[in-house]
Amino acid sequence: MRPVTLFTGQWADLPLSDLLHKVKSFGYDGVELACWGDHFEVEKADKAYCEARRKMLETVGLSCQAISAHLVGQAVCDRIDERHQSILPGAIWGDGDPEGVRQRAAAEMIRTAEAARRFGVGIVNGFTGSSIWHLTYSFPPVLPGQIEAGYADFSQRWTPILDAFQKNNVKFALEVHPTEIAFDISSSERALQAVGHHPAFGFNYDPSHLAYQGVDYIKFLHQFADRIFHVHMKDVAWNLGHDAGVFGGHVDFHRPERYWDFKSVGRGHVNFERIIRALNDIGYQGPLSIEWEDGGMAREFGATESCAYVKRLDFPPSSLVFDAQFARK
């Protein structure tokens, strides 16, 4: 059975030493460590730090197969503004000059690949940012070449990073998501093409970001079967309110007028039964990592029930054709 892990990004307010005991009590097999808070600190991640982190996990009885660098990764390709200062380490933000921020973020992603190798994990999940997300709804009309230039920018900035990942035998898994260079099936295909189907580039599959957009989140798994490096189990419900649409209407999460909102796993509209079957079909045997977000539920309750739900739902693929027993020689 696939290990069920908890992504610690939404728990970064808690020291890792305290969180790990909670995670174990919730029923999890391991964690996906966020590269913020004190959970996995890239700037400190020398050999001794990584060994200490491993010992901390082993003492509690938890595994770790992936770390996540969403916040710094976002700054590599983004149109940088004041919002980024709140999510970036001070050394990456620096004086806030946009190109300087992007360059420092890129260098940090390379250091993250090196830290992942020392820590002994083969996957770094994260975001890429996008210089063309603001062009998603094309009015004023997008000019010829603007979208192509955005993918060229992504390729220019990320190919050296991906080369470093490949050198360290680590893969980068983009969480396909609005505001990223890839946010649905079509843009994911273009992103792959932009980096020449780089062997270190693939996806952290998260159905919640596809489902409310109307994207076929089962087709995504089959279309990119060889690029599904990691899986987030995260739920979402839609057709809730009818004042704010798919783009959110500048309305905060967990407001009744929102069209969609994240839910505790099993309480939204995502069909996780079909996802498990599709994962079996494509041969994915990595972690099922719960990214828990539900603005209407206590997180410890939600994380516990989500773990139990996913463990109950998961099952191994069949090793035989069910009617083979009728065959006669």
pLDDT tens figures, 140-152: 999 999 999 999 9
Cα–Cα distance measured from residue 170 to residue 164, given in angstroms and rounded to the nearest whole number: 9
- Per-residue pLDDT reduced to its tens digit, 282-301: 999 999 999 999 999 999 99
Q: What global pTM score does this model have?
A: 0.96
pLDDT category, 325, cuts 50, 70, 90?
low
- Per-residue pLDDT reduced to its tens digit, 189-204: 999 999 999 999 999 9
- Spell out the domain ranges in the chain: 4-326
- Per-residue pLDDT reduced to its tens digit, 52-93: 999 999 999 999 999 999 999 999 999 999 999 999 999 999
Average pLDDT over residues 153-179: 98
Cα–Cα distance measured from residue 181 to residue 265, given in angstroms and rounded to the nearest whole number: 26
Does domain 4-326 bear CATH number 3.40.50.300? no
pLDDT for 16: 98
Number of H helices, E strands in the chain: 11, 10
pLDDT at 319 > cutoff 90: no
pLDDT for 324: 62
What secondary structure, in 3-state letters, does 185-234 show?
HHHHHHHHHHCCCCCCEEEEECHHHHHCCCCCHHHHHHHCHHHEEEEEEC
Residue showing tokens 């390709």: 77
pLDDT for 56: 98
pLDDT at 328 > cutoff 90: no
